[in-house]
Each structure stands twice: as C-alpha cells, then as structure tokens.
Homo-oligomer: A and B are copies of this chain.
Amino acid sequence: MENSFATRMGKVKKSFIREILKVAGDPEIISFAGGLPNPALFPVDNMRAACVKVLDESARALLQYQTSEGHGPLREFIARRYRERWGFDASADEVLVTSGSQQALDLIGKIFIDAGDRVVLERPGYLGAIQALGIYEPEFVQVELEDDGMDTARLAETLAERRPKFIYTVPNFQNPSGVSYSRERREEVARLAVDSGCYIIEDDPYGELRFRGESVPPIRLWAGANCIMTGSFSKTVAPGLRVGWVYAPREVIDKLLIAKQAADLHSDSLSQRVLYQYLADNDIDEHIAVIRDAYGRQRNAMVAAVKEHCPPDVKCTEPEGGMFLWMTLPKGLDSHALFDKAVAAKVAFVPGTPFYTDGGGANTMRLNYSNSDEEKIHEGIKRLGRVIKDAVAGGCA
C-alpha cells in the first residue's frame, strides 16, 4: 500500500537536519549543528515554582479541555508586550496561541497556500519554514539576503512578476544566516508588500536576543494589517514547552482558528498556564538579559575563533543577536563533502544546501553558538579550521 500516500509526501524529504543531529549525538563531537538554546540558562527553579502554583490553584480546570484560542491571560500578556515594546494597537483577540511557532507556520501554510502558489522567502531561508510550508506544495521563490536584508530591488520585480501569496521573512538575526534587516530595508519590504496587496509573515523568534547594536522595530510597524507576526517562548524561556503564537488581523486569526481546531483542538494547557504563571511572577526582561549576555560572549568567541583558525578567505557573518553564524567557504569547496571529515575530526555543522530551495549554497554552512560554551566553541572551531585547511590544501570540491 506504499503508493497510497498523498502526492505532497512525494515532494518532502525526511529532514536532513534530523540525520545530522543523530550523527552529532556522539558526546565526543562538538556540535554546532543543532539550533538548541543553552539549557544551563533555563529558569528551572522559577518554572518549578510556577508549575506547583498552577497545580495548587487550578489543577482541575487546567486538566480539562480548553478553548482553541489559547489561555486568555497568556494571550493578553503577548498583546501587551507588543503594545509596550512597539506601540502596536494589539489586543488579545488578535493573538492565537500555537504549539510552538512551528505550528504557526503549518497553520499559515494551511490557510493560505494552494498547490503552485508562489511564496517568497530569503535566500538562504529558514529550513523549518521550508518544511512546514512545503507540505502545501507552493513554489518557493528565494530572494537573495544581503548584509542588511532582502534584496528589495529583486523583491519588487518578484512581487510584480510572480504575484506571491506572501513573503516569509525572519528580519532579526535570521536563521540560518544571523543577518538582520536595517530599518530602511524593513520600511522598503513593508512598502512593497502593501503596494502589491501581499501578506508578510514576520517570524521573530530571536528578536529579543539582541546583544549588540540598537533594536529596530518589526516590519509590522510599517506594514500594519498586511503583516502576520509569529513568535515563540522557545528561545526566551524554554522550547520543551511548546508555546508560540500568531499575532495577526482578526480575519486571519478567524481562519487560523478553524485550522487550529482541526489540527489539535488546542495547545497544551499545563504548559500554557505554567508559562503564563512564570511570566506573571518573574521579570522576563531580567531573564532575557542573562541569555543575551551569555550568547553575546559565545558569539564573540566563535567569531574570534573563526578569524584565528580558518583560512582568511573563509567569510562569516557577525550577527548582532540570535543563535547562528553563517560561514561561506572559498568557491569550489563543498560543505557536504566536508561534513564527514568534520565528524571524523569530532566537530559538526549543518551544510548550507537545505536552506536553498533552488540548489546553490554548496560552499556554505550554518554554525550554532548558543548551545556551546566558549571553551568548546574555541576547540570546535579549531578542529573545523583544520578540516577546512586540509580541504583547501587537498582540494575537496
């Protein structure tokens, strides 16, 4: 009965990253492959206190079925944060709680994409979005990500020629590149989307993790009702609790709610309440400052180690926040071919090609610094540098 699967399943492959993470499971390997937050920074004691409190106060209520929209006070917390941080006129009614922001992407794909619809995303683009949206069989159109954001001249042409359903973007410390959009690029992307009547999906899991430079407002500031924002507590609190959200105009939330109810009725109630209690009883900004500080040091260690240990024609981004750095090897080197050699040398990364829907990226790789301490980062990049140098010397095309 093998051939009875839906057509859409013929087009998606088992995540390459899954396979890579398995290899990287060897404890001797220093892995820059995953996208995990640093567990040493999880607010374990305060989460435990929040958990005990909600069980003492409302166990019977939280164990029952809930509404599909999500826990009311949590939705209000999310809306209030948008109001306070960016002055958006956000209300809890415009917030839908999802099972992580990954589910937000699935639901967005479900309500918008007919097979063959065009979807614009950055080149390279976020693999989780490629996977979630890819299930609905769009045609992806990648627009080059430059140092300060998407190539807006190319975006303008793409919008005119291809009439995409929406633009998907990660404007802060993008995954996989670490690149952030300048204020000008944000304004321009917003203007282009509004002018062409196209939605923007503004995915912002890392926005609060800025350790350098000045915060820039979300694209939504300029795009207004054309913008659908997604967010997550995975990077600021903990990813094991699957709690993310969509913040969007009511007519979009209405459709998402139908899809959400069909998908899983509602997100986990225990986690929503524990998370809300944690947020109510603690200063989340104080906690985020601790994460920011640590990731900033880890990022500095990685950038410095790359400069010290890699050949000078190896380029890497120097992110102002987030969890990833993007490395470009000299032309002719193939990061896939390097991967096995790197694993033999006990260091792992993600080769760049899965982040390209159009081929390309063979000489690129993603490196994660959030899940390794400075000492490991130094040692791991030293190992990687040696592998790259050997490849340059030996030819590893």
- Asked if residues B264 and A99 are in contact (CB atoms below 8 Å), the reply is yes
List, in ascending order, chain B residues with CB within 8 A of A241's CB: 63, 268-270
Query: Which one of A5-13, A74-82, A142-150, A323-331 contacts B?
Result: A5-13
A262 and B51: CB pair below 8 A? no
A 327-386 contacts with B by CB, 8 A: none
Contacts of A15 in B (CB 8 A): 258, 261
A65 CB contacts on chain B under 8 angstroms:
34, 36, 234, 239-240
A1-B199, A269-B241 given as contacts; is B36 within 8 A of A63 (CB)?
no
Contact A265–B240 (Cβ < 8 Å): no
Instruction: Give the docked Cα–Cα distance between A243 and B10 (Å).
Output: 28
The interface residues of chain B lying within 8 Å CB-to-CB of A112 are 4-6
- Rounded to whole angstroms, the CA-CA distance of A106 and B260 in the bound complex is 10
- Kindly identify which residue among B9, B62, B226, B263 contacts A258, using a CB–CB cutoff of 8 Å: B9
CB of A100 within 8 A of chain B? yes
Cβ–Cβ contact B66 & A240, under 8 A: yes
When the two chains form their complex, are residues B131 and A261 in contact, meaning their CB atoms are under 8 A apart?
yes
A268 with B14, Cβ < 8 A, contacts A111-B9, A262-B131 known: no
Q: How many Å lie between the Cα of A102 and that of B268 in the bound state?
A: 13
Which B residues are in CB contact (< 8 Å) with A110? 6, 8-9, 135
Chain B residues, Cβ within 8 Å of A99: 99, 242, 264, 267-268
Is A251 part of the contact surface with B, judged by Cβ < 8 Å?
yes
Q: Are A265 and B42 in contact (CB under 8 A)?
A: no
Total count of chain A residues near the partner, CB < 8 A: 83
Residues of B close to A4: CB separation below 8 A: 112, 165-166, 199
**Contact (Cβ within 8 A) B1 A226:** yes
Known: A5-B112, A8-B110, A62-B240. A268 touches B271 (CB 8 A): yes
- Contact assessment for A55 and B51 in the assembled complex, using a CB-CB cutoff below 8 Å: yes
Cα A238 to Cα B273 in complex, Å, equals 15
Within 8 Å CB of A266, what residues of B? 242
- A65: nearest chain-B partner, CB-CB: B239
| Alpha-carbon distance A128/B262, docked complex (angstroms) | 7
B18 touches A42 (CB 8 A): no
Instruction: Please give the residue numbers on chain A whose beta carbons come within 8 Å of chain B beta carbons, in ascending order.
Output: 1-2, 4-9, 12-15, 18, 34, 36-37, 39-40, 42, 44, 47-48, 51-52, 55-56, 59-66, 68, 98-100, 102-103, 106, 110-114, 117, 128, 131-132, 134-136, 165-166, 197-199, 226, 234, 238-242, 251, 254-255, 257-259, 261-271, 274
27 A/B residue pairs, CB under 8 Å, sorted by A? A6-B112, A6-B117, A7-B114, A9-B110, A12-B262, A36-B64, A37-B64, A40-B60, A42-B64, A44-B59, A47-B59, A51-B51, A51-B52, A63-B241, A64-B239, A103-B263, A103-B264, A106-B263, A106-B264, A131-B261, A132-B262, A135-B262, A240-B268, A240-B269, A242-B265, A267-B268, A268-B270
